Structure 1
Amino acid sequence: MEIRFTDEMPKTGLVVVPLFQGAVEGPALEAVDAASNGAVMRAVKAAKFRGKSGETMTLPGPVGLDDAVIVLIGLGKAEDVEASLATGVGGKAFAQAKNNMASVSLLIDGLSVAGETGATLAVSAALGATLRAYEFGKYKKKTAATDRVAVEQFSIVGKGIAHAAEAYEAEAAVAEGVALARDLVSEPPNVLHPEHYADRCRELESLGVNVTIFDEAQMADLGMNLLLGVGQGSVRGSRMAVMEWKGGAEGEAPIALVGKGVTFDTGGISLKPPAGMEEMKFDMGGSAAVVGAMKALAGRKAKANVVGLVGLVENMPDGNAQRPADIVTSMSGQTVEILNTDAEGRLVLADVLTYAQKTYHPKTIIDLATLTGAIIIALAHDFAGLFSKTDSLSEALLAAAHKTGEELWRMPVGKMHDEMIKSDVADMKNVGGREAGSSSAAAFLGKFIENGVEWAHLDIAGTAWTKKDLDICPKGATGYGVRLLDRFVRETGEA
């Protein structure tokens, strides 16, 4: 889909005018009304359109705009608007393309969304439209053809925004990173097994990312027994992919992004119930966010040193699978009593976190994982859980989350959660009971963080997938975390 920035009033296609509740006026609406000889405003008054959130009004071919379809969309009360709605406006506009229109135009003159106006708003809206346009139709090979016309051109229309095209280049790279993350999460597990996933990571080399893949023998030599234990019940070999982007000062300590990449999670010997198990193909959503973020950073040539590390395993039941009661020695040298083989993601992350610190000595570590069902009980699907003992890091992540709309909520992790994972026979156990399950999981990961290292854990179990259409995402994989991580790096890691 081509993105255009123009000041030319459209005469054809779908023309979208966003309006706030109680302020059904402004330059954009006035321009459309003038072009239609007053037909638009007469219809607005007759229909008593108020601009409430989610409210829409469609006027096909009004006089003077015979070849256009005008759609007014309500944004709700201006005082209730979140920063992320600037992006959402573009997504909302694209979502109106239901009338076989090959072109969509979004009129933004006079519109101010969360402080964004003009070219800044145009760039955000273009990003939103691009994200909402995503489709994963790779395997619909025999679906009956329809007469649906795909949107070929999306225009942002406003005065003084022509130069926004240059600014949008960086956002287009971020959108590509989100699309990659969504693609990875959407792939079926018979395709995206660890070996294939590692190959997909290698594709980032074309953007200047240095990619190293570790096989099982190499990880065994490193002592990564926790990660290997999770995958030992699968016929698919486990892998670790390490992706280095060196866009900052030479020798400067990098930001490390670590992702859980369980390409399918049956629970292992602690087998999950069949209902809903198909959703476990997206148990690698944390790793997808890391891989997508690395593509975004490289695509826009970020001036920062960032290393992305993902542990790639398949958790299957088998005669060789890890058992409850096994005790395993981690790469850090600490021992772990395995009480539940379905609490496997933290085991994968633990060894990758250790490798990241020993090899790169990062100034900051952020790990992402679809780690616990408990976080969904606590936060539903609107927020991911943020766990960190560093206030400054937490505040920076919360700010980035709010700006992108990939929201976080800070959760507790402290000594009481450390107590929950104490073992009678090993240094720790891999589960701490039903109470505070997300916090005890975070406490487990914290055992593998060296003193003085700035670290945050993001539990994205509730946000990696959506069962309904969102403003900037069709139902399915969300790519959650890519834009959050990119924004965090922009504001804290770049010169």
Structure 2
Amino acid sequence: MTDLREITFGTIDLDALAGTAGRVAVFVDGERKLGRAARRVNRLTRGAVARAVEGETWEKKAVGDVVSLAFPTGMAAESVDIVRADRRMTVEAARKAGAALARLAGASAITVLNEASARMAQVALGIALRSYAFTDHKSDKGKLPAPARMLTNKPEELEAAAAPLLAAASGVLFTRDLVNEPANVLTTTEFAARLEALRDIGLEVEVLEEDRLAELGMGALLCVGQGSVSPSKVVVMRWKGAAGAPLALIGKGVVFDTGGISLKPASGMEDMTMDMGGAGTVAGVMKAIALRKAPAHVVGMVGLVENMPSGSAVRPGDVVTSMKGDTVEVVNTDAEGRLVLCDVLWYAQQTEKPAAMVDLATLTGACVVALGHENAAVFSNDDGFAGAFLKAAETEGEGAWRMPMGKGYDDLLKSPVADMKNIGGRPGGAVTAAQFLRRFVSDDVPWVHLDIAGVAHLKAGNDLAPKGATGWGVLALDRLIRDRFETPEDAA
């Protein structure tokens, strides 16, 4: 499993700069004003910093961009990295700057110098997120990244500000590891074991095995995994940092999805190792809030299954009974995620009496067609709750877009032999999937459904992540919990 790059905090020592190894980063604003650290580095390099920020190249740089001076004269560093900054540097720009420093550094040590600590915590988050590499199954795993030192005039304040952000980063990296793992490694049993290990950081973890799921009547969930030798499971993670009804997070954990009898095309099927992305995100959020000891009551539940074709697999045309008691005609066995989620959603309401629920799933290709890879699709039965999530996602720079729901879409799920079908046809496929789930949510429970099929795993990297799993949603949900579900420290 991937650990965060070690990040330490300390006071700037100008006299030690000449002998500092690795990469040294300084900040210069758009007016080319050099702070104390930048002036000392400029003096050591015989004016190289000042020359670098005088040309047209610097003028064209956006806030958060970096100009590098390789092997500077007068210093032991392999590079001086000059970060374009300003006094109102945004969170996005600060994270971008940190990520750029991490990408340039590779495994080298990073020393970041900035007298003011404003936004330095966000720079640290950017470094932590972009230092990630999934090398577990490579013969040459490369070097572990050397530590990053964040040096400022008030290191204690900076360390305190960075701590919850780095806890969230640890959750993001946990999610990325889970989503990147191949299915022969991350079986349902191994997935459950990794979640059970979260007891070490204070989470309560309960694993419901197939016999218990059958007793509960989870026929929809169980039918998905009946063609696989991997046992289906539901894992419940509880963080009781406050009293009251919890926020429930529900994740789809299909560790591999062939489509079952409704077999997917061979091309691209290898990517279906990421079909447990919703469960991975829930696990990452639970790790993050436990690490930062959030004053909130949150329950995470994930349904872990494998959707495989075999002589025992569920067939198109079969009718199954959900835990709620509604019957479902399985028209397409590749629309399996909603069958997993519907039973876990109902179980969460019956056992936890949640104040609100969020479910996440790499649910539909239709979502990718509609929104591409820039935004997750957001569906909800509650405008206020949907707005709160969208605000949290915007704050954390994670793209999300609200989609419509309505009776017309719901009518597409009518079945001649059961209470409903599990698909409503190609038109509006992401919407009819949400309408299916809506039937398993009580009217008095605020609910958000996130279809993350387009954002959980990318073919190319972005500012904060290399190609592969992104960990999308961990930061947004952690922010939602902070803003809406945490109990103030001075509350009774």
TM-score normalised by length of structure 1:
0.90
The structural deviation recorded for 1:30 is: 4.4
The structural deviation recorded for 1:65 is: 2.9
Q: Are positions 1:104 and 2:110 aligned together? A: yes
Size of the alignment, in residue pairs?
476
Q: Are positions 1:268 and 2:268 aligned together? A: no
Deviates more, 1:471-480 or 1:240-249: 471-480
The structural deviation recorded for 1:220 is: 0.7
The structural deviation recorded for 1:211 is: 1.1
Q: Are positions 1:41 and 2:50 aligned together? A: yes
| Alignment of structure 1 residues 18-167 onto 2, 5 Å | 23-27=31-35, 29-46=38-55, 48-53=57-62, 56-65=66-75, 67-73=77-83, 83-98=91-106, 101=108, 103-109=109-115, 118-140=116-138, 142-143=139-140, 150-167=144-161
* Post-superposition CA distance 1:387-423 (Å, at most 9, x none): 1121111111111111222221111112222122122
Question: Given that residues 186 and 477 in structure 1 are in contact (C-alpha distance below 8 angstroms), is that contact kept between their aligned partners in structure 2?
Answer: yes
In structure 1, the gaps of 5 or more residues are: 110-117
Given residue 67 of structure 2, which amino acid in structure 1 is its aligned partner?
M
Q: Are positions 1:8 and 2:49 aligned together? A: no
The structural deviation recorded for 1:4 is: 2.5
Distance of 1:414 and 1:170 partners within structure 2: 39
Deviates more, 1:190-199 or 1:444-453: 190-199
Question: Given that residues 104 and 151 in structure 1 are in contact (C-alpha distance below 8 angstroms), is that contact kept between their aligned partners in structure 2?
Answer: no
The residue aligned with 1:479 is 471
Residue from 428, 438, 444 that aligns with 1:446: 438
Structure 2 counterpart SS, 1:96: helix
Given residue 194 of structure 2, which amino acid in structure 1 is its aligned partner?
R
The residue aligned with 1:113 is none
Distance of 2:232 and 2:412 partners within structure 1: 29
Distance of 2:450 and 2:169 partners within structure 1: 21
The residue aligned with 1:177 is 171
Identity of aligned residues (%): 46
Distance of 1:390 and 1:379 partners within structure 2: 22
* Post-superposition CA distance 1:265-316 (Å, at most 9, x none): 0000000000110000010000011111111111111111111100000000
The structural deviation recorded for 1:490 is: 1.0
The residue aligned with 2:315 is 323
Question: Given that residues 254 and 304 in structure 2 are in contact (C-alpha distance below 8 angstroms), is that contact kept between their aligned partners in structure 1?
Answer: yes
* Post-superposition CA distance 1:174-209 (Å, at most 9, x none): 222112111111111011111221111111111221
The residue aligned with 1:462 is 454
Distance of 1:283 and 1:16 partners within structure 2: 39
TM-score normalised by length of structure 2:
0.91
The residue aligned with 2:490 is none
C-alpha change, 1:162 and 1:240, in structure 2 (3 Å) is same
Deviates more, 1:379-388 or 1:45-54: 45-54
Distance of 1:18 and 1:434 partners within structure 2: 52
Distance of 2:123 and 2:114 partners within structure 1: 9
Given residue 72 of structure 2, which amino acid in structure 1 is its aligned partner?
P
Question: Given that residues 19 and 51 in structure 1 are in contact (C-alpha distance below 8 angstroms), is that contact kept between their aligned partners in structure 2?
Answer: no
RMSD across aligned C-alpha pairs, in angstroms?
2.2
Question: Given that residues 24 and 77 in structure 2 are in contact (C-alpha distance below 8 angstroms), is that contact kept between their aligned partners in structure 1?
Answer: no
The structural deviation recorded for 1:138 is: 1.3
C-alpha change, 1:31 and 1:405, in structure 2 (3 Å) is farther
The residue aligned with 1:112 is none
Question: Given that residues 83 and 402 in structure 1 are in contact (C-alpha distance below 8 angstroms), is that contact kept between their aligned partners in structure 2?
Answer: no
Deviates more, 1:50-59 or 1:395-404: 50-59
Residue from 279, 287, 299 that aligns with 1:307: 299
The structural deviation recorded for 1:47 is: 6.2
Question: Given that residues 26 and 114 in structure 2 are in contact (C-alpha distance below 8 angstroms), is that contact kept between their aligned partners in structure 1?
Answer: yes
C-alpha change, 1:48 and 1:231, in structure 2 (3 Å) is closer
Distance of 1:190 and 1:271 partners within structure 2: 19
